[in-house]
Amino acid sequence: MTYPTTAHTDLAAIEANLAGIRARVGTRLVLAAVKANGYGHGAVAVSRHCERTGAADWPGVATTEEGVELREAGITLPILKLSPARGDEVPAALAAGITLPVVDAASVTEIADAAVQLGLSGVNVHLKLDTGMRRVGAEPDQAVALAKAIDATGRLDLQGLFSHLPISDAPAGKAFTEHQIARFTETIRTVEEARGPVPLKHLANSGGVLDHPESWFDLVRPGIMIYGSYPDPETSHSVQLTEALRWTTRVSYLKRVPASGRRLRTHLERPRTPLDRHHPGRIRRRLLPPALQSRTSADQRTRPPDRRTSVHGSDHDRSGPRAQRQGGG
Ligand SMILES: Cc1ncc(COP(=O)(O)O)c(C=O)c1O
């Protein structure tokens, strides 16, 4: 051990959180977002536990490497990569049995070509749509064309349609989220009318699970909440969560000092004045050794020289000729 601080993941807490999610969303499938090493909790351990206990049906990853790591650890659950794969990643992901999103016509071609190269057919893909987040995903009015392009490859199966909700966790985002749900619902209708049913439609992240039942569709994709945290202080507690992360460390040094002893205050601990709140530059300067506490050019731009007087403490002596030299008048 090089450092005596350890993060402990409570897998039973994650299992209990997922059970609470299942109880809330009924028969929908549950994808556990385990990207970024399971939000720091250990993607392999969390996915393995989900597989062994049946707590979740899919893990969701961000990168091909994350998905490959799960396969190498023996995870056999279907894995969805939540963001697109390009170039060499595509055959590597298909070879590892990772389900990829389609985000544009180029990704249909890339995935289909990789399927041909690997001699695969019936390769599941999920069409990712941008219903308002303005990050990754095809525009909804491209959905029918892309779905038909996927069908036309003869190699790929359109297993899913999905989109992401950026502010489903905040009451202030309610109208925006409802607008996204409506756009997604309408896009599903047009795609299914044009080429038949798509088995898995999915939209809900943690905020969706907690506060937007209309976003649940066939599968939900909670992330942060499975680890025991509500995504926002204002998200409802419609699922009771248990913290899954605990830190322990070894105290390196304890010392008793007399209660009456005087202690020197550092410059960081000087009392702040009401002025400091409006002029953060004053505080930044105080963090520097006195010799370096000159005005910055940003200060000169924002504060005219004639307002640099009438200040407190150490700034006071910079209102004289020295300050004027430094500030260029
Ligand atoms: C596509 C997608 N779905 C679901 C999630 C899980 O989100 P959350 O942690 O807010 O539940 C993420 C995380 O960013 C995501 O990118």
The total domain count for the chain is 2
Q: Which residue among 82, 131, 135 has the greatest number of ligand 1 atoms within 8 angstroms of its CB, and so is best to mutate?
A: 82
Instruction: Examine the domain organization and report whether 56 and 193 are in the same domain.
Output: yes
Read off the pLDDT of residues 88-129 as tens digits, 9 standing for 90 and up: 999 999 999 999 999 999 999 999 999 999 999 999 999 999
Q: Is residue 192 part of a domain?
A: yes
Provide the whole-model pTM: 0.79
The residues facing 30 across adjacent strands are 220
Q: Is residue 191 part of a domain?
A: yes
Instruction: Examine the domain organization and report whether 65 and 176 are in the same domain.
Output: yes
Read off the pLDDT of residues 10-51 as tens digits, 9 standing for 90 and up: 999 999 999 999 999 999 999 999 999 999 999 999 999 999
Q: Is residue 253 part of a domain?
A: no
Q: Is residue 134 part of a domain?
A: yes
Residue written as tokens 């530059």? 281
CA of 319 to the centre of ligand 1 (A): 53
CA of 217 to the centre of ligand 1 (A): 16
Q: Is the CB of residue 33 below 6 angstroms from any atom belonging to ligand 1? A: yes
Residue written as tokens 């976003």? 215
What is the per-residue pLDDT for 312? 33
Q: Is residue 260 part of a domain?
A: no
Q: Is residue 255 part of a domain?
A: no
Instruction: Examine the domain organization and report whether 201 and 84 are in the same domain.
Output: yes
Instruction: Examine the domain organization and report whether 207 and 305 are in the same domain.
Output: no
Read off the pLDDT of residues 295-322 as tens digits, 9 standing for 90 and up: 444 444 444 444 333 333 233 333 333 3
Q: Is the CB of residue 59 below 6 angstroms from any atom belonging to ligand 1? A: no
Instruction: Examine the domain organization and report whether 42 and 101 are in the same domain.
Output: yes
Read off the pLDDT of residues 260-290 as tens digits, 9 standing for 90 and up: 766 666 666 665 665 555 555 555 555 556 6
What is the per-residue pLDDT for 261? 62
Nearest to 116 by CA among 154, 68, 159: 154
Read off the pLDDT of residues 180-232 as tens digits, 9 standing for 90 and up: 999 999 999 999 999 999 999 999 999 999 999 999 999 999 999 999 999 99
The domain that contains 210 carries what CATH number?
Answer: 3.20.20.10
Residue 163 vs residues 109, 145, 149, 168, 171: alpha-carbon distances, Å: 21, 17, 19, 12, 20
- Say which residue, 284 or 56, is predicted with more confidence: 56
CA of 2 to the centre of ligand 1 (A): 33
Instruction: Examine the domain organization and report whether 175 and 315 are in the same domain.
Output: no
Please identify, by atom number, the ligand 1 atom nearest to the C-alpha of residue 31: 4
Instruction: Examine the domain organization and report whether 210 and 308 are in the same domain.
Output: no
Instruction: Examine the domain organization and report whether 205 and 302 are in the same domain.
Output: no
Instruction: Examine the domain organization and report whether 167 and 285 are in the same domain.
Output: no
The residues facing 201 across adjacent strands are 161
Q: What is the extent of the structural domain holding 300?
A: 267-327
Q: Is residue 305 part of a domain?
A: yes
Please identify, by atom number, the ligand 1 atom nearest to the C-alpha of residue 221: 4
Among the candidates 248, 276, 295, a domain finishes at 248
Cα–Cα distance for residue pair 209/126, rounded to 1 Å:
20
- For residue 63, how many other CB atoms are within 10 A of its CB? 17
Instruction: Examine the domain organization and report whether 96 and 184 are in the same domain.
Output: yes
pLDDT above 90 (res 62): yes
Instruction: Examine the domain organization and report whether 185 and 298 are in the same domain.
Output: no
DSSP 3-state of 209: helix
Which residues, other chains included, contact 46 with Cβ-Cβ below 8 Å and sequence gap of 6+? 9, 11, 14, 32, 34, 38, 59, 226
Q: Is residue 236 part of a domain?
A: yes
CA of 81 to the centre of ligand 1 (A): 11
Q: Taking the chain, what is the end-to-end CA distance rounded to the nearest angstrom? A: 58
Residue 41 vs residues 57, 59, 98, 187, 220: alpha-carbon distances, Å: 18, 14, 21, 35, 20
Q: Is the CB of residue 222 below 6 angstroms from any atom belonging to ligand 1? A: yes
Instruction: Examine the domain organization and report whether 240 and 309 are in the same domain.
Output: no
